A = this chain, B = another copy of it.
Amino acid sequence: MKLIRKTLSIIPLFNGLSSEQLDEIGAITVERRYGRGDSIFMEGDAADGFYIVADGQVKIFKTSLEGKEQILHIYGPGNPFGEVPVFSGRRFPANAVALVGSRILFLPRGAFVDLIARHPSLSMNMLGELSMRLREFTVQIENLSLKEVPSRLASYLIYLASEQETANRVTLKISKGQLASLLGTIPETLSRIFAKMTAQNLIRVEGKTIRLLDPLGLEDLAAAGKLAE
Protein backbone atom coordinates (compact mmCIF):
# COMPACT_ATOMS: atom_id res chain seq x y z
CA MET A 1 0.00 0.00 0.00
CA LYS A 2 2.85 2.41 0.90
CA LEU A 3 4.60 1.52 -2.37
CA ILE A 4 1.41 2.15 -4.36
CA ARG A 5 0.98 5.55 -2.71
CA LYS A 6 4.59 6.48 -3.48
CA THR A 7 4.20 5.41 -7.11
CA LEU A 8 1.00 7.45 -7.50
CA SER A 9 2.75 10.60 -6.32
CA ILE A 10 5.18 10.57 -9.27
CA ILE A 11 2.65 9.78 -12.04
CA PRO A 12 2.15 12.77 -14.38
CA LEU A 13 -1.60 12.07 -14.66
CA PHE A 14 -1.91 12.92 -10.97
CA ASN A 15 0.23 16.09 -11.03
CA GLY A 16 -1.21 18.91 -8.97
CA LEU A 17 -3.43 16.69 -6.82
CA SER A 18 -3.35 17.16 -3.06
CA SER A 19 -1.98 14.53 -0.70
CA GLU A 20 -5.57 13.74 0.40
CA GLN A 21 -6.67 13.24 -3.20
CA LEU A 22 -3.72 10.89 -3.81
CA ASP A 23 -4.77 8.95 -0.69
CA GLU A 24 -8.26 8.59 -2.17
CA ILE A 25 -6.81 7.25 -5.41
CA GLY A 26 -4.46 4.97 -3.46
CA ALA A 27 -7.47 3.52 -1.65
CA ILE A 28 -9.04 2.26 -4.91
CA THR A 29 -5.81 1.17 -6.62
CA VAL A 30 -4.88 -2.50 -6.96
CA GLU A 31 -1.36 -3.71 -7.79
CA ARG A 32 -0.87 -6.57 -10.26
CA ARG A 33 2.28 -8.30 -11.48
CA TYR A 34 2.83 -9.70 -14.98
CA GLY A 35 5.68 -11.83 -16.34
CA ARG A 36 7.40 -11.21 -19.66
CA GLY A 37 4.94 -11.93 -22.50
CA ASP A 38 1.88 -12.11 -20.23
CA SER A 39 -1.35 -10.74 -21.70
CA ILE A 40 -2.87 -7.86 -19.69
CA PHE A 41 -5.99 -7.54 -21.85
CA MET A 42 -7.13 -8.46 -25.36
CA GLU A 43 -9.02 -6.40 -27.91
CA GLY A 44 -12.76 -6.72 -27.32
CA ASP A 45 -12.42 -7.68 -23.64
CA ALA A 46 -14.92 -5.91 -21.38
CA ALA A 47 -13.08 -3.19 -19.46
CA ASP A 48 -13.81 -2.62 -15.81
CA GLY A 49 -10.97 -0.17 -15.26
CA PHE A 50 -7.68 1.13 -16.60
CA TYR A 51 -3.99 0.62 -15.89
CA ILE A 52 -0.80 2.52 -15.09
CA VAL A 53 2.73 1.11 -15.54
CA ALA A 54 4.52 1.30 -12.16
CA ASP A 55 7.61 -0.69 -13.27
CA GLY A 56 8.33 -2.46 -16.53
CA GLN A 57 7.21 -2.04 -20.13
CA VAL A 58 3.92 -2.69 -21.92
CA LYS A 59 3.13 -3.02 -25.63
CA ILE A 60 -0.27 -1.91 -26.99
CA PHE A 61 -1.01 -3.41 -30.41
CA LYS A 62 -3.53 -4.59 -32.97
CA THR A 63 -3.24 -7.79 -35.01
CA SER A 64 -4.67 -8.75 -38.40
CA LEU A 65 -6.32 -12.15 -39.00
CA GLU A 66 -3.04 -13.31 -40.59
CA GLY A 67 -1.20 -12.45 -37.38
CA LYS A 68 0.54 -9.30 -38.65
CA GLU A 69 1.02 -6.89 -35.80
CA GLN A 70 0.85 -3.08 -35.64
CA ILE A 71 2.22 -1.56 -32.43
CA LEU A 72 0.25 1.50 -31.30
CA HIS A 73 2.35 2.40 -28.24
CA ILE A 74 5.16 1.15 -26.03
CA TYR A 75 4.59 2.38 -22.47
CA GLY A 76 6.96 2.58 -19.51
CA PRO A 77 6.82 3.71 -15.85
CA GLY A 78 4.25 6.45 -15.19
CA ASN A 79 2.22 5.91 -18.39
CA PRO A 80 -1.50 5.12 -18.08
CA PHE A 81 -3.05 2.74 -20.64
CA GLY A 82 -6.42 1.16 -21.43
CA GLU A 83 -8.30 4.29 -20.33
CA VAL A 84 -10.37 4.75 -23.51
CA PRO A 85 -13.15 2.30 -22.46
CA VAL A 86 -13.45 4.01 -19.08
CA PHE A 87 -15.14 6.89 -20.93
CA SER A 88 -16.40 5.32 -24.17
CA GLY A 89 -17.47 1.93 -25.44
CA ARG A 90 -16.63 -0.24 -22.44
CA ARG A 91 -14.41 -2.59 -24.45
CA PHE A 92 -10.63 -2.43 -25.06
CA PRO A 93 -9.90 -1.31 -28.65
CA ALA A 94 -6.49 -3.08 -28.75
CA ASN A 95 -4.31 -5.70 -26.99
CA ALA A 96 -1.81 -5.19 -24.15
CA VAL A 97 1.09 -7.49 -23.16
CA ALA A 98 3.97 -7.05 -20.74
CA LEU A 99 7.29 -6.90 -22.66
CA VAL A 100 9.29 -7.52 -19.47
CA GLY A 101 8.34 -8.47 -15.92
CA SER A 102 6.08 -5.55 -14.90
CA ARG A 103 4.34 -4.11 -11.85
CA ILE A 104 1.04 -2.61 -13.00
CA LEU A 105 -1.53 -0.52 -11.08
CA PHE A 106 -5.21 -1.16 -11.82
CA LEU A 107 -7.84 1.53 -11.17
CA PRO A 108 -11.47 0.31 -11.19
CA ARG A 109 -13.80 2.24 -13.49
CA GLY A 110 -16.67 3.22 -11.19
CA ALA A 111 -14.54 4.48 -8.32
CA PHE A 112 -12.27 6.41 -10.69
CA VAL A 113 -15.15 8.09 -12.54
CA ASP A 114 -16.52 9.11 -9.15
CA LEU A 115 -13.14 10.69 -8.22
CA ILE A 116 -12.97 12.53 -11.54
CA ALA A 117 -16.43 14.00 -11.03
CA ARG A 118 -15.34 15.36 -7.63
CA HIS A 119 -11.88 16.65 -8.57
CA PRO A 120 -11.70 19.05 -11.54
CA SER A 121 -7.88 19.03 -11.61
CA LEU A 122 -7.90 15.25 -12.09
CA SER A 123 -10.37 15.59 -14.95
CA MET A 124 -8.28 18.35 -16.59
CA ASN A 125 -5.19 16.10 -16.33
CA MET A 126 -7.10 13.23 -17.91
CA LEU A 127 -8.33 15.50 -20.74
CA GLY A 128 -4.70 16.58 -21.31
CA GLU A 129 -3.56 12.95 -21.38
CA LEU A 130 -6.21 11.87 -23.92
CA SER A 131 -5.50 14.96 -26.06
CA MET A 132 -1.80 14.13 -26.11
CA ARG A 133 -2.66 10.60 -27.28
CA LEU A 134 -4.82 12.04 -30.06
CA ARG A 135 -1.90 14.23 -31.11
CA GLU A 136 0.42 11.19 -31.20
CA PHE A 137 -2.08 9.20 -33.28
CA THR A 138 -2.36 12.12 -35.72
CA VAL A 139 1.40 11.89 -36.26
CA GLN A 140 1.27 8.09 -36.56
CA ILE A 141 -1.50 8.25 -39.21
CA GLU A 142 0.51 10.89 -41.10
CA ASN A 143 3.57 8.64 -40.93
CA LEU A 144 1.72 5.57 -42.17
CA SER A 145 -0.09 7.27 -45.02
CA LEU A 146 2.08 10.16 -46.16
CA LYS A 147 5.67 9.17 -45.42
CA GLU A 148 8.12 6.55 -46.65
CA VAL A 149 9.75 4.31 -44.03
CA PRO A 150 13.14 6.19 -43.90
CA SER A 151 11.27 9.36 -43.12
CA ARG A 152 9.23 7.59 -40.41
CA LEU A 153 12.45 6.33 -38.82
CA ALA A 154 14.00 9.83 -38.90
CA SER A 155 10.83 11.27 -37.27
CA TYR A 156 10.95 8.60 -34.60
CA LEU A 157 14.64 9.23 -33.78
CA ILE A 158 13.98 12.98 -33.49
CA TYR A 159 10.97 12.25 -31.27
CA LEU A 160 13.11 9.97 -29.05
CA ALA A 161 15.86 12.62 -28.77
CA SER A 162 13.33 15.18 -27.57
CA GLU A 163 11.65 12.68 -25.22
CA GLN A 164 14.97 11.48 -23.76
CA GLU A 165 16.27 15.08 -23.70
CA THR A 166 19.47 14.09 -25.47
CA ALA A 167 20.31 16.21 -28.49
CA ASN A 168 22.48 13.80 -30.47
CA ARG A 169 22.17 10.33 -28.93
CA VAL A 170 19.13 8.15 -28.30
CA THR A 171 18.65 4.78 -26.64
CA LEU A 172 16.28 2.26 -28.22
CA LYS A 173 14.22 0.68 -25.46
CA ILE A 174 12.50 -1.77 -27.78
CA SER A 175 13.85 -4.49 -30.08
CA LYS A 176 14.49 -3.87 -33.80
CA GLY A 177 11.52 -6.15 -34.57
CA GLN A 178 9.24 -4.05 -32.37
CA LEU A 179 10.61 -0.86 -33.92
CA ALA A 180 9.84 -2.23 -37.40
CA SER A 181 6.25 -2.94 -36.35
CA LEU A 182 5.87 0.48 -34.73
CA LEU A 183 6.95 2.08 -38.02
CA GLY A 184 4.67 -0.17 -40.07
CA THR A 185 7.42 -2.15 -41.83
CA ILE A 186 9.37 -5.43 -41.58
CA PRO A 187 12.77 -5.96 -39.84
CA GLU A 188 14.62 -6.62 -43.16
CA THR A 189 13.52 -3.27 -44.62
CA LEU A 190 14.39 -1.48 -41.39
CA SER A 191 17.91 -3.02 -41.38
CA ARG A 192 18.51 -1.83 -44.95
CA ILE A 193 17.41 1.69 -43.99
CA PHE A 194 19.68 1.71 -40.91
CA ALA A 195 22.59 0.67 -43.16
CA LYS A 196 21.82 3.35 -45.74
CA MET A 197 21.44 6.11 -43.13
CA THR A 198 24.75 4.99 -41.61
CA ALA A 199 26.47 5.12 -45.03
CA GLN A 200 25.14 8.66 -45.48
CA ASN A 201 26.62 9.71 -42.11
CA LEU A 202 23.19 10.59 -40.72
CA ILE A 203 23.51 8.17 -37.78
CA ARG A 204 25.92 5.71 -36.15
CA VAL A 205 24.46 2.59 -34.54
CA GLU A 206 26.24 1.39 -31.37
CA GLY A 207 24.13 -1.51 -30.09
CA LYS A 208 21.04 -0.03 -28.47
CA THR A 209 22.47 3.49 -28.71
CA ILE A 210 22.09 5.51 -31.89
CA ARG A 211 24.17 8.64 -32.40
CA LEU A 212 22.46 11.34 -34.43
CA LEU A 213 25.46 12.61 -36.42
CA ASP A 214 23.51 15.04 -38.59
CA PRO A 215 20.37 16.28 -36.78
CA LEU A 216 19.54 18.81 -39.52
CA GLY A 217 19.86 16.12 -42.20
CA LEU A 218 17.52 13.90 -40.16
CA GLU A 219 14.99 16.71 -39.90
CA ASP A 220 15.10 17.22 -43.67
CA LEU A 221 14.57 13.50 -44.16
CA ALA A 222 11.68 13.44 -41.65
CA ALA A 223 9.97 16.30 -43.49
CA ALA A 224 10.75 15.29 -47.09
CA GLY A 225 9.73 11.66 -46.91
CA LYS A 226 12.52 10.27 -49.10
CA LEU A 227 16.13 9.17 -48.60
CA ALA A 228 18.60 10.46 -51.22
CA GLU A 229 19.80 7.74 -53.65
Contacts and interface: CB of A to CB of B under 8 A. Distances in A.
A151 to B, nearest CB: 9
A147 B62 CA distance: 11
B70 A145 contact: yes
A205 B64 CA distance: 28
Greatest chain B CB density within 10 A among A64, A117, A129, A225 is at: A64
B88 A135 contact: yes
| Main SS class of interface, A | helix
B116 A120 contact: yes
B224 A89 contact: no
Number of contact residues on A: which range applies?
35 or more
A146 B70 contact: yes
Interface string A87-116: 111000110000000000000000001001
Given A87-B131, A117-B120, A118-B120, 8 more contacts: A62-B142, A72-B141, A117-B121, A130-B131, A134-B134, A137-B141, A140-B141, A144-B144
28 contacts: A62-B138, A62-B141, A62-B142, A62-B146, A64-B146, A65-B223, A68-B146, A70-B142, A70-B145, A83-B131, A84-B135, A84-B138, A85-B131, A87-B127, A87-B131, A88-B129, A88-B131, A88-B132, A116-B120, A116-B124, A120-B120, A120-B123, A123-B127, A126-B127, A130-B130, A134-B134, A137-B138, A144-B145
